[in-house]
């Protein structure tokens, strides 16, 4: 059995997307043989945190899969999924724990992750595997989940590998009791146990958990990186890949599931939304906001904002340069020209700023119909080169209108 320091490999091979800095750092950790008991992978959604953790887990136990080890492999298993010493957990819905269906609920999702390390498998963003439900489910790490499932595997000795590896994704969803229980595990780890954790939000974690982990930070993916990955791994045509990459918001895992035709339909709705905002068509604004609230899950609503931002940036670029070649939505040139000629003093930069403030609110489960309605109010003023009627410091003053 080779020492880690003797292994020659390209971490993640060709399957991991971007993240050269993080991949190089993980490679150095393997070669140094100074393996910590806990690693925390952080970064924006869809940047490859889980994929990197899976590749690292395989390397620790000598599996040639996400990273090609060829004759250097020291495991006969084909992937992390079949290895007895690698255990993957994701936030779970409370009914699965209550009804003792955790393994039944997890297995089909982990099978999907086995086939594609960038697959969306969490319950909150993919509540059903059978249909495209528009409703997001609340999934987290309840204390019973730790006691009955996670805690048990942390007490196992390595069976055929060098390390018992426990992967916990999206640990920012831990409730207080679960976080305290996990902290005890981190404080008293066994010699051959390694935790690989992922989070979208470092701010939501207990400082005591962060301090006991080595931090692996993944950067937002660049547009050209996502575009190339869509072409190479997802068989997307080059022109479509460029457009999808630009509206991805850096989320490669999600943008692969965007349908170009649906996006174009959403774009038509966005243009109508901007028109209604400008003419202050209250009925049109509220109807659109309700449709986006009821007809889209969180990812769909984020995609709407991404498409809207791309369209606003096209308006800004064309107004400043008059260069069609620089526009992403080139098939909307006439609409863009018409907007720029009639609203030449619109505060497009401020509109983009206000739009970008909406994403965190959606992830925090603020009602989308309220978010989109308020955004329309602000756009209406900004398109007229005016300050919003209600300042950022007094945003609560929007509420009376909603309660009438």
Q: Residue 214: beta bridge partners? A: 39
Q: What is the dihedral of CA 55, 116, 167, 210, to 10 degrees?
A: 80
Q: pLDDT tens digit string along 195-205? A: 999 999 898 89
Whole-number average pLDDT of the chain: 89
What CATH fold (topology level) applies to the domain 4-217?
Rossmann fold (3.40.50)
Read off the pLDDT of residues 122-143 as tens digits, 9 standing for 90 and up. Answer: 887 777 776 555 455 688 999 9
Distance between CA atoms of residues 141 and 220, nearest Å: 26
For the ranges 70-74, 140-144, 150-154, 294-298, the lowest mean pLDDT is seen at 294-298
What is the percent of the chain with per-residue pLDDT over 90, rounded to a whole number?
A: 60
The answer on pLDDT for 264 being more than 50 is yes
The predicted model scores a pTM of: 0.80
- CATH class of the region 259-403: mainly alpha
In tens, the pLDDT along 208-231 reads 999 999 999 999 999 999 999 999
Instruction: State pLDDT tens for residues 160-211.
Output: 899 999 999 999 999 888 899 899 889 888 889 999 999 998 988 989 999 9
- In this prediction, residue 55 carries a pLDDT of 96
Residues near 376 by Cβ (< 8 Å), separated by ≥ 6? 273, 276, 277, 285, 289
Domain ranges of the chain: 4-217, 259-403
More confident residue, 394 or 330: 330
Task: Answer yes or no: are the C-beta atoms of 149 and 178 closer than 8 Å.
Answer: no
Quote the pLDDT of residue 53.
Answer: 97
């Amino acid at each position: 059995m080779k020492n880690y320091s003797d292994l020659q490999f390209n971490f993640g091979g060709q399957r991991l997307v971007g993240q050269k800095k993080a991949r190089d750092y993980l490679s150095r950790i393997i070669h140094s043989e100074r393996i910590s008991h806990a690693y925390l992978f952080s970064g924006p959604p869809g940047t490859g945190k889980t994929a990197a953790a899976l590749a690292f887990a395989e390397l620790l136990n000598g599996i040639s899969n996400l990273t090609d080890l060829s004759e250097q492999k020291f495991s006969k298993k084909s992937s992390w999924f079949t290895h007895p010493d690698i255990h993957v957990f994701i936030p779970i819905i409370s009914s699965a724990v209550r009804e003792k269906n955790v393994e039944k609920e997890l297995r089909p999702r982990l099978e999907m992750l086995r086939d594609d390390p960038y697959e969306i498998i969490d319950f909150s963003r993919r509540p059903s595997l059978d249909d495209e439900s528009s409703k997001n489910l609340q999934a987290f790490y309840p204390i019973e989940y730790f006691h009955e499932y996670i805690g048990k595997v942390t007490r196992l000795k390595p069976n055929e590998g060098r390390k018992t590896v426990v992967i916990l994704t999206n640990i920012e969803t831990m409730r207080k009791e679960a976080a305290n229980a996990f902290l005890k595990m981190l404080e008293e780890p066994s010699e051959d146990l390694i935790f690989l954790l992922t989070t979208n939000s470092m701010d939501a974690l207990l400082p005591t958990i962060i301090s006991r982990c080595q931090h692996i930070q993944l950067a937002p993916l660049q547009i050209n990186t996502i575009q190339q990955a869509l072409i190479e791994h997802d068989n997307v045509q080059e022109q479509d890949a460029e457009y999808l990459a630009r509206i991805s918001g850096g989320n490669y895992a999600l943008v692969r599931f965007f349908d170009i035709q649906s996006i174009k339909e959403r774009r038509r709705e966005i243009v109508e939304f901007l028109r209604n905002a400008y003419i202050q068509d209250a009925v049109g604004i509220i109807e659109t906001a309700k449709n986006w609230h009821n007809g889209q899950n969180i990812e769909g609503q984020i995609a709407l904002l991404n498409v809207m931002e791309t369209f606003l940036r096209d308006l800004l670029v064309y107004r400043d340069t008059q260069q069609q070649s620089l526009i992403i939505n080139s098939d909307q040139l006439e609409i863009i020209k018409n907007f720029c000629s009639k609203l030449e003093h619109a505060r497009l930069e401020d509109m983009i700023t206000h739009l970008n403030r909406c994403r965190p609110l959606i992830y925090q489960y603020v009602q989308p119909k309220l978010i989109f309605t308020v955004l329309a109010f602000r756009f209406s003023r900004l398109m007229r080169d005016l300050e919003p009627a209600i300042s950022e410091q007094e945003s609560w003053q929007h509420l009376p209108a909603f309660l009438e």
